[in-house]
C-alpha cells in the first residue's frame, strides 16, 4: 500500500504524480518562486518547497485546496490539526482565485492555528468585511504579540505577492481593527508607517482612531492625529468634526467647541443634530443647562429638529440642577412632538423629585410612564425604594419590592445595598445580615458599599470588634480596597468605643493607601479625644485639618466647644465660638446648649442667661436639653435660679408668639 500524503487514495496520488512529472523542471521552479517570501538563511518559505519533498508538499497543498473547494469537510477535519503554518500559507495562496472558500477553511481550521504570515495572506485575499473581522478577532484573542510595525510589514509582504492592486485598503482595515480593539496607539503607529510609505489613509480609518482616543480620554493624542490629518490634507467629514467637538467638550473647552462648530460651517460642512447634541451634552455635563437651552434655540432657527437624545440630555441636566418643573415641561414638549420618551427620561424626573422629598410627585411619574406603555426599570424601583427608606417608610419600601418582583424584576446589587443600608441606619442588624446572606445565596456579589453598611451597623450596635474583623478580612483576604466612607465608618466606631488609638492607626493606613481624610474623619477623631477628656489634642487636630487643606465644619467647632464645656474650661470654649463666628458659621442649638451647660456648671448663671436670650433672639427655640442644663446649673441658688428660669421661659414664649 502506498504511503500517500494525508491518506489520499493511491489512484489519485499516482495520477497527480504523473501530471507533475510532465511539467518541465524550470517551469516548476518559476511557479514556486512566484509564491515565495523572502526568508532568513536556512529557513523554509511558506511558498518554497524543499527539494527533498517538493512533490509531496506541492501535492498536499494542491489536493487539500481542491478538497476545500469541494467542501469535503468530513475528509478534511481529521487532517487539519496536523497542518503546519507554512503549509497553511501554501493552501491559502492556492485559494487566491477562490476567496469565498477561505472563511469556511479558517472556521474549520481555527484562527488560532494561523501565524502572522498565514494570517496576512488570508487578510489580503478576503473581501473587505471578512478580512476586517478576521483582523479584529485575532486582536481580541491576543494573537498579535508582534509589534504594529511587524504586522504592518507582514501585511505589506503578503499583499505585494498575492495581489496586484495597491495595499491601502488592507492597511485601512488594520487601522480600523486596532482602533476598534481599544488600541488606538497601535493604530496611530500604523498610520505613521502608512504615511512614511506614501500611502494616505482613508478618512473613515482616521475617524475610527480619533473615536478610540476619545473613548479612552486620550484627547491630546486625538489632537496629534487630527493635526497630522490636517497637514496631509485628509478631508474631514461631519463625523470628524463631531468627534473633535466631543473632544473639546470632554476637555471642558466649551467656548472652543462652539467656535469649532463655526469653523465646521466655514469649511462647508453643515452641522447635524448629532453636532448640536454633542454640544448640548457638553454644556449639561458642566452644569450649564441654560447655555444648552440656547443651543437648542439656535438649532431650531437653523431648521435642525431636536431628537429624543436632545430632549433626554436637557431633561437630565435640568433635573440635576433642580429645575424639575422645567424638566417636566421639556418632557411634555418631547412627547407632544411625537418623540418617544424612554424609562431613562422618567427616571431622571423621579430621581429629582425623590431628592427633593416630593415622593408623591415621583410616584405620579412612575404611574405616568406605566400609562404611556413604558415599563418601569430596576433603576425606577431602586430610586423609589431608596427614597422611602430615607423617609423612614420601610414598610412601603417592602411593598414596592414585592410589586417589583411580581412584575418580573429581580432585585440587583443596588437594591440590596439600599435595603442593607436602610436597615443599618435603623440599627436593625438582624435584618441587614439576613439580606446580606440572601444576596450571597442568589449569587449577587457584595460590593464595597454593602460591607460599609454592615460595618456601620456593627459599630452602631457596639460590636466594634466584629466590625474590625470584617474590615481586616476584607482588606487582607478578599482583596477589597477600602474607600473613604468605609474607613470613616471604622474610625467613627472605634472612637465612640473609646479606642481612639485604633482610630489613629486607621488614619495612618488611609494615608499609606493615599485615601485622603475628610472633615468626617477628623471630626470622629476629635470627638473620641474629647470623650476621653483630651480636648487639647482635639484642638491640635483642628489645626492639623487646616494645615492639610481640610476645611473644618460646624460639627468640628461644636465638638471642641462641647469638649471644653464638659471640662469646665469655658474661656477656651468661648474662644472656639468666636473663631467659629469668624469662619462664617452660625451657632446652632447644640452650640448654645453646650455653652449654657458649661457656664451653669461653673456657676456663671448670668452669662448663661445672656446666651439663652441671644439664642432666642436669633430664632432658635430652646429644647429640653437647654432647660435641663439651666435647672441643673442653677440648682445651687434655687431662688435666683427660679427667677432666671421664669425670665428666660417668658422671653422664649413671647418670642414664639
88 vs 450: which has the higher pLDDT: 450
CA distance 443 to 63: 53
Per-residue pLDDT at 22 exceeds 60: no
How far apart are the C-alpha atoms of 174 and 202, rounded to whole Å?
Answer: 12
Assess whether pLDDT exceeds 70 at residue 648. Answer: no
pLDDT band at 304; cut points 50, 70, 90: very high
Residues in CB range of 383: below 8 A, 6 or more apart: 347, 350, 351, 354, 362
More confident residue, 554 or 1: 554
pLDDT for 647:
55
Sign of the CA dihedral running 404, 409, 414, 415: positive
Residue 62: the pLDDT is: 84
pLDDT of 446 strictly over 60? yes
Q: Which of 263, 300, 259 is nearest to 282 (CA)?
A: 259
Return the higher-pLDDT residue of 191 and 84. 191
pLDDT digits (tens, 9 = 90+) for 127-152: 778 888 888 877 777 666 678 888 88
In angstroms, what is the C-alpha Rg of the chain? 38
Out of 5-14, 75-84, 152-161, 367-376, the most confident range is: 367-376
Give 219-278 pLDDT, tens digit per residue: 999 999 999 999 999 999 999 999 999 999 999 999 999 999 999 999 999 999 999 999
For residues 472 and 480, give the distance between their C-alpha atoms in angstroms, rounded to a whole number: 10
pLDDT one-digit tens code per residue, 192-205 = 999 998 889 999 99
Residue ranges covered by each domain of the chain: 605-657
Identify the weakest region by mean pLDDT among 14-28, 74-88, 528-542, 543-557: 14-28
Q: Which residues of 240-275 are buried (b: 16+ CB within 10 A; e: fewer)?
A: bbbbbbbbbbbbeebeebbebbeebeeeebebeebb
pLDDT at 607 over 90: no
pLDDT given for residue 347 in this prediction:
97
Q: What is the DSSP letter of 5?
A: G
Mean pLDDT over all residues of the chain? Answer: 84
Model confidence at 92, pLDDT cuts 50, 70, 90, reads: confident
Q: Is the pLDDT of residue 402 over 90?
A: yes
Whole-number pLDDT of residue 41: 37
d(CA 598, CA 573): 9
* pLDDT at residue 18, rounded to an integer: 54
What does the pLDDT read at residue 50? 32
Q: CA dist 626 to 365, 593, 632, 633, Å? A: 44, 5, 10, 11
Percent of the chain scored above 70 by pLDDT? 84
Classify 126 as helix, strand or coil. Answer: coil
Whole-prediction pTM: 0.74
What SS3 class is residue 252? coil
Q: Does the pLDDT at position 79 exceed 90?
A: no
Residue 615 banded pLDDT, cuts 50, 70, 90: confident
CA distances to 89, 146, 201, 567, 603 from 158, in Å? 10, 16, 19, 87, 98
> Using one digit for the tens of pLDDT, what is the confidence trace for 493-547?
999 889 999 999 999 999 998 999 999 999 999 999 999 999 999 999 998 998 8
Burial class (CB in 10 A: 0-12, 13-18, 19+), 353: buried
Residue 35's pLDDT is 36
With a cut of 60, say whether residue 381 has pLDDT above it.
yes
CB-based burial label for 461 (10 Å; 0-12, 13-18, 19+): middle
pLDDT value of residue 642: 53
Residue 420 pLDDT > 70: yes
Amino acid at each position: 500500500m502506498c504511503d500517500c500524503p494525508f491518506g489520499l487514495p493511491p489512484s489519485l496520488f499516482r495520477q497527480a504524480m504523473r501530471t507533475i512529472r510532465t511539467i518541465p523542471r524550470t517551469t516548476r521552479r518559476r511557479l514556486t518562486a512566484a509564491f515565495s517570501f523572502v526568508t532568513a538563511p536556512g529557513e523554509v518559505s511558506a511558498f518554497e518547497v524543499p527539494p527533498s519533498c517538493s512533490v509531496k508538499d506541492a501535492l498536499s497543498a494542491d489536493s487539500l485546496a481542491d478538497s476545500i473547494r469541494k467542501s469535503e469537510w468530513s475528509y478534511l477535519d481529521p487532517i487539519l490539526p496536523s497542518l503546519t503554518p507554512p503549509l497553511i500559507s501554501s493552501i491559502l495562496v492556492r485559494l487566491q482565485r477562490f476567496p469565498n472558500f477561505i472563511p469556511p477553511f479558517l472556521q474549520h481550521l481555527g484562527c488560532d492555528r494561523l501565524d502572522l504570515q498565514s494570517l496576512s495572506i488570508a487578510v489580503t485575499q478576503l473581501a473587505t468585511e471578512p478580512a476586517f473581522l478576521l483582523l479584529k478577532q485575532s486582536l481580541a484573542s491576543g494573537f498579535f504579540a508582534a509589534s504594529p510595525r511587524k504586522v504592518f510589514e507582514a501585511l505589506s509582504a503578503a499583499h505585494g505577492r498575492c495581489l496586484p492592486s495597491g495595499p491601502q485598503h488592507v492597511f485601512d482595515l488594520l487601522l480600523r481593527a486596532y482602533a476598534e480593539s481599544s488600541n488606538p496607539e497601535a493604530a496611530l503607529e500604523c498610520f505613521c508607517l502608512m504615511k512614511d510609505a506614501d500611502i494616505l489613509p482613508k478618512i473613515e480609518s482616521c475617524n475610527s482612531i480619533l473615536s478610540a482616543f476619545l473613548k479612552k480620554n486620550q484627547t491630546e493624542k486625538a489632537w496629534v492625529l487630527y493635526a497630522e490629518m490636517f497637514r496631509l490634507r485628509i478631508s474631514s467629514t461631519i463625523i470628524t468634526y463631531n468627534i473633535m467637538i466631543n473632544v473639546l467638550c470632554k476637555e471642558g473647552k466649551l467656548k472652543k467647541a462652539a467656535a469649532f462648530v463655526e469653523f465646521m460651517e466655514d469649511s462647508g460642512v453643515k452641522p447635524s443634530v448629532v453636532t448640536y447634541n454633542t454640544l448640548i451634552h457638553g454644556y449639561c455635563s458642566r452644569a450649564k443647562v441654560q447655555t444648552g437651552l440656547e443651543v437648542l434655540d439656535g438649532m431650531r432657527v437653523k431648521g435642525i429638529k431636536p431628537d429624543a437624545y436632545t430632549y433626554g440630555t436637557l431633561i437630565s441636566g435640568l433635573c440635576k440642577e433642580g429645575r424639575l418643573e422645567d424638566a417636566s415641561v421639556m418632557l411634555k414638549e418631547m412627547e407632544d412632538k411625537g418623540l418617544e420618551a424612554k424609562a431613562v427620561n422618567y427616571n431622571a424626573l423621579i430621581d429629582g423629585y425623590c431628592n427633593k422629598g416630593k415622593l408623591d410627585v415621583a410616584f405620579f411619574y412612575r404611574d405616568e410612564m406605566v400609562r404611556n406603555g413604558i415599563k418601569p426599570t430596576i433603576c425606577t424601583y431602586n430610586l423609589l425604594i431608596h427614597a422611602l427608606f430615607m423617609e423612614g417608610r420601610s414598610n412601603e419600601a417592602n411593598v414596592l419590592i414585592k410589586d417589583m418582583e411580581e412584575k418580573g424584576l429581580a432585585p440587583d446589587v443596588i437594591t440590596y445595598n439600599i435595603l442593607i443600608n436602610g436597615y443599618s441606619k435603623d440599627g436593625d442588624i438582624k435584618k441587614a445580615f439576613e439580606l446580606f446572606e440572601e444576596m450571597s445565596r442568589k449569587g449577587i456579589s457584595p460590593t464595597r458599599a454593602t460591607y460599609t453598611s454592615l460595618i456601620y451597623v456593627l459599630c452602631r450596635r457596639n460590636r466594634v470588634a466584629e466590625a474590625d474583623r470584617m474590615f481586616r478580612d476584607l482588606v487582607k483576604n478578599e482583596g477589597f480596597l477600602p474607600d473613604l466612607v468605609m474607613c470613616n465608618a471604622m474610625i467613627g466606631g472605634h472612637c465612640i468605643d473609646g479606642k481612639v488609638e485604633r482610630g489613629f492607626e486607621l488614619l495612618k493606613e488611609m494615608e499609606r493607601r493615599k485615601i485622603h481624610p475628610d472633615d468626617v474623619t477628623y471630626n470622629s477623631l476629635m470627638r473620641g479625644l474629647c470623650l476621653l477628656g483630651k480636648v487639647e489634642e482635639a484642638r491640635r487636630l483642628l489645626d492639623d485639618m487646616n494645615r492639610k487643606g481640610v476645611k473644618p465644619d460646624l460639627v468640628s467647632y461644636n465638638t471642641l466647644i462641647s469638649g471644653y464645656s464638659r471640662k469646665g474650661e469655658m474661656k477656651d470654649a468661648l474662644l472656639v465660638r468666636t473663631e467659629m463666628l469668624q469662619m462664617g458659621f452660625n451657632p446652632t442649638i447644640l452650640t448654645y446648649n453646650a455653652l449654657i451647660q458649661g457656664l451653669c456648671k461653673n456657676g456663671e448663671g448670668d452669662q448663661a442667661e445672656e446666651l439663652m436670650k441671644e439664642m432666642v433672639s436669633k430664632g432658635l427655640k430652646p429644647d429640653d436639653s437647654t432647660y435641663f442644663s439651666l435647672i441643673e446649673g442653677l440648682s445651687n441658688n434655687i431662688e435666683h435660679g427660679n427667677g432666671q428660669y421664669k425670665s428666660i421661659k417668658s422671653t422664649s414664649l413671647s418670642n414664639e408668639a
